[in-house]
Amino acid sequence: MLELTMASVSEADAGATAGMLMADAPSDPGSLLRVGRDRSLCRLATPDDWLFVSRVHLEFQCGPDGVWGVTWLRGSQAEPSSEVVLTLPGHPAQPLPYGGTAKLPHGGSGELVIKDRSAPRSVNVGFYHEV
């Protein structure tokens, strides 16, 4: 099972406890969880006016071996208006390339942060992959 939590944080919310959204999916091959603005496609949806997050921004998919990966899907623009950073415990934070994929640790946790390049706001997506 993969569990996701999401919080949207803007400069006005800094220091405040943001409301969290949660979603989960079993670790069955082909299972999907998506994060973005399109509520019809994404289990975790950001505010509609947060245009630095695309309609479907992050896609978590379970592979045939039961291991989850996350992909920052390429949008219609050649250059994104955000950046995505992946943080795993015990490792330095590293950028997730636009269109890139990263494997998530089995039985581990971490966080992906989608940062707006033009304003001090972000979407923080925590994950926990149950064994």
Q: What is the DSSP string of the chain?
A: -EEEEEEEEEGGGTTSPPPEEEEEE---TT-EEEEES-TTT-SEE--TT-TTS-SS-EEEEE-TTS-EEEEE---SSSS-SEEEEEE-TTS--EEEPTT-EEEPPTT-EEEEEEEESSSSEEEEEEEEE--
Residue 15 clears pLDDT 80, i.e. is over it = no
Q: The whole model's pTM is what?
A: 0.91
pLDDT digits (tens, 9 = 90+) for 39-86: 999 999 998 888 999 999 999 999 999 999 999 999 888 999 999 999
